[in-house]
Structure 1
Amino acid sequence: MYVAVKGGERAIDNAHAWLAEERRGDTTVAELSVDQIKEQLKLAVNRVMAEGSLYDPDLAALAIKQARGDLIEAIFLIRAYRTTLPRFGNSNPVETSKMACERRISATFKDLPGGQVLGPTFDYTHRLLDFKLAAEGEEVQAAEREAEPVDVPHVTEFLNKEGLIEETFPEETTPPDLTRGPLELPAERALRLQALTRSDEGFTLGLAYSTQRGYGRTHAFVGELRIGEVAVEMDIPELGFAIEIGEVTLTECETVNQFVGSKSQPPQFTRGYGLVFGQNERKSISMSLVDRALRWEEFGEDNEGVPAQDAEFVLYHGDNIQATGFLEHIKLPHYVDFQAELELIRKLRAEAAAEQKEAAE
């Protein structure tokens, strides 16, 4: 085994040098700056922040540049860096009802207090390549923006006034922090939501799509999808009150799901919930659908044996960093293991050949 890895340091150094050369690309083309990535590839930056569990657009943009655009590698870099940061304290729960909304839509109510705001979205584009973007010096026409209300109540609050939707209450105890401790099952909803917001977007999307195709009884409506900035506050013991320490952009989705009821409780709608850093509505909608699917036991529903209802399957396989690490470790030297398998196969083949020869005689 020692012979297999001896002298590999020089090869690794050369691989790193080659990687840096490939990352830079053609030196006659201007180098891509971190600011350009942060400002013009915001959706990629938002995904790295969300799945990396660190809200810092500058670091996320740097990670994307270092990873050559490989977002999972960039997420890995951000998570690794996050472990080196000290923790000063815990912030208070953010008040998303006071979000300064850039985008706010509902598929359940047309007329919303505060109005529906289409915002920056691909939803109404024709999905045709715009070759004007290939030209330099693109001119951008500023969009008209109306002043947003300070307090924008959630759509589900209107349903809640009539008792038409389940009422949720905050946890009495501080939920476990998935970024500082391992995932343990059975996981309470707060921990499941943490895992889902960090989970791979494509994996979560696939699970959510499966629930819509019938793998789970969770036909849903988007009660409300909102994107915007919220204030982050922190209690300061020396002051005796909370102060605002910054703002973060969030995407929040609440789905209104099928009726549920029992002998003691009349039929009512149930909720699915998703909250993600940045503008990331595909992920937040997917998260809310999977969240509702995982609540089957809470509502006394049947477990249909579908992946989206299996907490262990969803939570353990949704983390793209863990999945990547386990998947890519098979690239590493397994010479001894393979030699053992090789010798076993040769031995079995020899025994089989000997048996065939005896049978023929």
Structure 2
Amino acid sequence: MYVAVKGGERAIENAHAWLAEERRGDKGVAELSVAQIREQLSLAVNRVMAEGSLYDPDLAALAIKQARGDLIEAIFLVRAYRTTLPRLGASKPVETGEMACDRRISATFKDVPGGQLLGPTFDYTHRLLDFALDAEGEIPEAQSGEPQAAPVPHITGFLNRDGMIEQEPQGDATPPDLTREPMEFPANRALRLQNLTRGDEGFVLGLAYSTQRGYARNHAFVGELRVGTVPVEMEIPELGFAIEIGELRLTECETVNQFKGSKTEPPQFTRGYGLTFGMTERKAISMALVDRALRWRELGEDDLGAAAQDEEFVLAHSDNIQATGFLEHIKLPHYVDFQSELELVRRLRREAQATRQDQQEAAE
């Protein structure tokens, strides 16, 4: 419990007013609309939706505007709003194999059924500032911007023909819901994947990078990376069948890892998996790498002591909202705590000084 100092309420109100002015910026510049953020800052919107666990581009864009572009603050706003929403039911699991892809690539096979679709990507740009954007001219339209309408098979399925890749177990049990149940250790894979989806992109990226540099023995290939829309269906008890209630844009990544075998498993390729809202490729790939690193125990591998293999370390520290709350609370008043520590240090110094004097007198 924090007790406000005298005049604190007025100071807070003024801080809020000043924040609103800073958020608006120079009134001589046109105000940025929520629609502009949604359409032109879509990758930021996608990250807020993914880590905020709420698929709503308009709300994510509003949160970004309110947070002045601070994405973690925007994620906090979205999560807080999410807690106020009623839960009307549960949708059926989406079938990513039925995705209408507007991007689909593989680093393991060149020629795949359905072809490779480069889609909208920074991968082949030169990373040079485009000053033409500052002129606010019209952008030429792409020659082929239509998504792949026909469903295309998952590329990792080709390895299944020869039994070269591990088989994913098909379970009917409803996975736990991290947003409604507290995290417990050890966590099953479904819970770990939920945690990584909501985890901070930078944190997960750093862990993924560490696995590639030898801290977890995780040499992965991108078996498939796909971005596109999938239908969402919900069972309606009164009707007796499922109906489509909307669409989601998702990014899915499956990595393929060489596995020399263990006491329990034969030599084969193993998988890492990532699935996120919107077009969030860096997060999906990072998630897949960390997912694979966390599976060392179930695959009978050795624990190398790597950070990305430590389930509790990864899952307990990946959430940027929890991390931010604990970090930023130290800005708030801790006057009593500090005074007690200050008095403790003063007492210890007095005692240390007295001890030195006694030693000097004894030496003389």
Gap regions ≥5 residues in structure 2: none
Q: Which moved more, 1:237-246 or 1:167-176?
A: 167-176
In 1, the alpha carbon distance for the partners of 2:68 and 2:24 equals 9
Amino acid of the residue matched to residue 156 of structure 1?
T
Shift of 1:263: 6.1
1:111 maps to: 111
Report the aligned-residue RMSD. Answer: 1.5
Aligned to 2:63: 63
Distance 1:65 1:3 in 2: 31
SS of match in other structure, 1:197: helix
Q: Which moved more, 1:172-181 or 1:319-328?
A: 172-181
CA contact (8 A) 2:252 2:284 kept: yes
Residues 300-337 of structure 1 deviation map (CA, whole Å, 9 limit, x = unaligned): 00001110000000001000000000000111111111
Consecutive unaligned residues in structure 1, runs of 5 or more: none
Distance 1:24 1:4, change over 3 A: closer
Q: Which moved more, 1:35-44 or 1:169-178?
A: 169-178
1:351–1:4 Cα change, 3 Å = farther
Where 2:254 maps in the other structure, the secondary structure is strand
Q: How does 1:4-43 map to 2 (within 5 A)?
A: 5-43=5-43
Provide the identity percentage: 77
The 3-state SS of whatever aligns with 2:9 is: helix
**Which one is further off, 35-44 or 129-138?**
129-138
Determine if the alignment matches structure 1 residue 124 to structure 2 residue 124. yes
Q: Which letter does structure 2 place at the counterpart of 1:93? A: P
Whichever residue aligns with residue 305 of structure 2, its letter is: G
**Is the partner of 1:175 in helix, strand or coil?**
coil
1:36-70 CA deviation, whole Å, 9 max, x = no partner?
Answer: 00000000000000000000000000000000000
Task: Report the alpha carbon displacement of residue 3 of structure 1 after superposing the two structures with TM.
Answer: 7.0
Q: Measure how far apart 1:352 and its partner are.
A: 1.6
- Name 1:237's counterpart in structure 2: 237
Tell me, yes or no, if the aligned pair for 2:264 and 2:300 is still in contact at 8 Å.
no
- TM-score of the two chains, using structure 1 as the length reference: 0.97
Q: What amino acid is the match of 1:92?
A: K
SS of equivalent to 1:245? strand
Change (3 A) 1:9 1:273: same
SS in 1 for 2:15: helix
Give how far 1:262 is off.
4.5
Instruction: Give 1:146 deviation, angstroms.
Output: 5.4
Contact residue 114 and residue 149 of structure 1 kept, 8 A: no
Structure-2 separation of matches of 1:148 and 1:317: 38
Question: Residue 169 of structure 1: CA displacement?
Answer: 2.2
Q: CA deviation at 1:299?
A: 0.5
**Residues 1:162 and 2:171 are matched in the alignment:** no
What are the Cα deviations for residues 8-48 of structure 1, in whole angstroms up to 9, with x where unaligned? 11110000000000000000000000000000000000000
Tell me, yes or no, if the aligned pair for 2:102 and 2:147 is still in contact at 8 Å.
no
User: What does 1:220-231 correspond to in 2, within 5 Å?
Assistant: 220-231=220-231
* Partners of 1:274 and 1:160 in 2: CA distance: 19
Cα distance change, pair 348–12 in 1 and its aligned pair in 2 (3 A): same
What secondary structure, in the 3-state scheme, does the structure 1 residue paired with 2:197 have? Answer: helix
* Aligned twin of 1:324: 324
* C-alpha distance in 2 between matches for 1:213 and 1:310: 16
SS in 2 for 1:230: strand
Cα distance in 1 for partners of 2:230, 2:267 equals 34
* C-alpha separation in 2, matches of 1:315 and 1:2: 30
CA deviations on 1:275-314 (whole Å, 9 max, x unpaired) are 0000000000000000000000001000011100000000
Whether the 8 Å CA contact 1:132–1:138 is kept in 2: the answer is no
